[in-house]
Structure 1
Amino acid sequence: MKFSQSAAALAFAATALAAPSPTTPQKPRQAGGCSSAVTLDASTNVFKKYKLHPNSFYRAEVEAAVAQISDSSLASAAAQVADVGTFLWLDTIANIGKLEPALADGVPCENILGLVIYDLPGRDCAAKASNGELKVGELSRYKTEYIDKIVSILKAHPNTAFVLVIEPDSLPNLVTNSNLQTCQNSASGYRDGVAYALRQLNLPNVVMYLDAGHGGWLGWDANLKPGAEELAKAYKAAGSPKQFRGISTNVAGWNAWDLTPGEFSSASDAKYNQCQNEKLYVEKFGAALRTAGMPNHAIIDTGRNGKQGLRREWGNWCNVNGAGFGRRPTADTGFELADAFVWVKPGGESDGTSDTSAVRYDSFCGKEDAFKPSPEAGQWNQAYFEMLLKNANPAF
């Protein structure tokens, strides 16, 4: 870790998040939905009652991957991944079309379907690998063609429970990358768009978590207070929605939950960041959120953090080589503020391409600790999936 606190914040804001590639939904496997309308109590931890649903799109990707594995024992282990609950990424207007097939596949009454809301104008303003389809200034399209369409579908399925991660990376970028022109241009659209999403998605069968980056991003001492205030402003601008629960952390990330000492605790600038693991981050950022007047419970993405000590620098985010699947989704976190460990990022889907000639190539995907070759963000990488499986902790 060879950068100063301010440089570190800049690097972390370059995190790129990749949404799933299109797949063909499976035929219905089981009856879905409840016999009556679902009402979620966002003042409680809904993961104590509901299991994160293994959506049909990731299941199809995993089943296709299993068919390519000749080692029978590895194939058997890989098949188990299909049964792990994972979030479905609605990362474009077109990909809203994935939602109805996922519902048609069947969401049992004891399950909750996870969705990632991720299509702000000027999306991912500090990175190249996962820039979005909407340009700065197209906020009206975001509202009417994206959020409103999702709201309509969720209202049409009142008997199904939904958990939403709202706009990964957006507000954290505004905290740490205000010096970048791209983020300056995106700022008003981010703030207005996030508030609009929180307000419109405030439905009885929905519980929402607003993304807060991770401990290596907003966890720096100088970022805790402004980060909490930025998120709290969006929450309040949305009218303090009843179905809002708190934050998501480590989305598509690599940080350990409770590794002590932390992976980068011996770095020269570690004294400026007390959040050396995600548990510490949830605790300290949660306290800052409470002071700022916002609900502060959290869900933590553990989908690919099974192995540590792999990154050369804390800000290296792209297809980390040697990674493994982490803890399976569970509400048994051992910490009151942490509602659940969840798999937000579908393991096996690329963070970004290692092809230096590609338009969407980001230099982070060419770093020494990034897996190569890797395809475009969101596309399946069979070799990477098998690596995650072999290095899974706990093992499958």
Structure 2
Amino acid sequence: MKVTQAGAALFAAGAIAAPSNTKPVKASPRQASGACASAVTLDASTNVFQNYKLHPNSFYRDEVNKAVEAITDASLKESAAKVADVGSFLWLDTIENIGKFDPAVADLPCENILGLVIYDLPGRDCAAKASNGELKVGELDRYKTEYIDPIVEKLKANPNSAFALLIEPDSLPNLVTNADLTTCQESKTGYEEGVAYALKSLDLPNVVMYIDAGHGGWLGWDDNLKPGAEELAKVYKNAGSPKQVRGFATNIAGWNAWDESPGEFSDASDAKYNSCQNEKIYVQKFGDALKTAGHPNHAIVDTGRNAVTGLREEWGNWCNVNGAGFGVRPTADTGDELADAFVWGKPGGESDGTSDESATRYDSFCGKPDAYKPSPEAGQWNQAYFEMLLKNANPAF
């Protein structure tokens, strides 16, 4: 992420998401019982969210149901139970967690689309500590054969179901704004080749893809818009311009408001260098830059935890923001032609990173004054944080 005009971002864009501690259920590929009667063909030149509802996947539902059991307040308990019915993306963030696919698709009805996050590049989150991945720099062959290829196999085994894929959060944005970091320099080849391989391999009729593009406080800086769009476009073209790529994803696991005006950081001393003071402006400006660069330019925007603003000290504070609340539920009714849908990308209640300074994966951003404490390791459930998100939800449950 990039916070200031002058300096390169040296903070962890990547801990926005992390491996879930939910153990996958291993199963052989099979067609979902609630699937459509015939093969699904998604037209990526259109907004598929107008015809499909984002599926409330079974893993987040189970996490929420367990959270409900731990709540003693009757009124809060009733509200919490409703969160289980909200559609959200399922993170296939390790090779092992590909095992979550089959049980997640087993109850997928024809009218729903299953959101999947593809997130396991070698040297993942090169500017972060809290959610570094399992594959090391140089293990691109493993990424292809042990991660992407098995996912492709499962998608092909379920031709009668619809899937929306969010491709590799943080990866390409990090190459734009954190190019001075040795870790990102070392990851560059793997990121670009890996994302291109994923886009080309996952280009299936029943799939629509969105490539992660950070948010308005990251690639939205005036100096970042053009190089950010060109980076995405380069990888997209290297993949052969796959027809099932619809555009880009913004604010994934983020906190930015959709259309707050003036923006949350409009009074900052460097605000004049960033005209994207909310995600609506960012979608338009970055979308225009993508179109110029030759890349599809429609977006999905994460509103899962952005109900409350004015909580962060600066744009780049990404970790377990204290005082946050659940935002607008997934919908295709965005009021903006370029914004296909508001989605819940990050499962609200799962930690962004640990606040334990002695932990190996501790990132200083999880210890900042505006970060919730105590917080467990990235991806682990934080009951108190979930209840806070629920109490601060807007609209309320």
Write the mapping of 1:309-388 to structure 2, written as runs, cut at 5 A. Answer: 309-388=310-389
Q: Structure 1, residues 297-349: CA drift from partner, whole Å, max 9, x if none?
A: 00000000010000011110000000000000000000000000000100000
Shift of 1:3: 6.4
Write the mapping of 1:66-81 to structure 2, written as runs, cut at 5 A. Answer: 66-81=68-83
Give 2:28's aligned residue: none
AA at the equivalent of 1:119: D
AA at the equivalent of 1:171: L
Give 1:21's aligned residue: 21
The alignment partner of 1:299 has SS state of: strand
CA distance in 2, matches of 1:203, 1:8: 37
Give 2:309's aligned residue: 308
CA distance in 2, matches of 1:143, 1:3: 33
Give 1:391's aligned residue: 392
CA distance in 1, matches of 2:211, 2:111: 24
Write the mapping of 1:135-284 to structure 2, written as runs, cut at 5 A. Answer: 135-284=136-285
CA distance in 2, matches of 1:280, 1:8: 22
Distance change (3 Å), C-alpha of 1:248 and 1:3: closer
Does residue 44 (structure 1) correspond to residue 46 (structure 2)? The answer is yes
AA at the equivalent of 2:116: L
RMSD between superposed Cα atoms in Å: 1.4
The alignment partner of 2:282 has SS state of: helix
AA at the equivalent of 2:202: L
CA distance in 2, matches of 1:3, 1:280: 17
Percent identity over paired residues: 77
Distance change (3 Å), C-alpha of 1:93 and 1:268: same
CA distance in 1, matches of 2:224, 2:149: 33
Does residue 35 (structure 1) correspond to residue 9 (structure 2)? The answer is no
Instruction: Compute the TM-score of the two structures, normalised by the length of structure 2.
Output: 0.96
AA at the equivalent of 1:85: G
CA distance in 1, matches of 2:301, 2:185: 28
CA distance in 2, matches of 1:335, 1:68: 39
Shift of 1:379: 0.2
Long gaps (5+) in structure 1: none
CA distance in 1, matches of 2:201, 2:251: 25
Shift of 1:17: 1.8
The alignment partner of 2:381 has SS state of: coil
The alignment partner of 1:349 has SS state of: coil
Checking the alignment, whether the CA contact within 8 Å between 2:260 and 2:278 is kept in structure 1 is: yes
CA distance in 2, matches of 1:286, 1:12: 24
CA distance in 2, matches of 1:250, 1:191: 21
Distance change (3 Å), C-alpha of 1:82 and 1:99: same
Checking the alignment, whether the CA contact within 8 Å between 1:23 and 1:60 is kept in structure 2 is: no
Shift of 1:14: 5.7
Shift of 1:24: 7.1
The alignment partner of 1:242 has SS state of: coil
Shift of 1:45: 0.0
AA at the equivalent of 1:133: E
Does residue 87 (structure 1) correspond to residue 71 (structure 2)? The answer is no
Shift of 1:103: 1.4
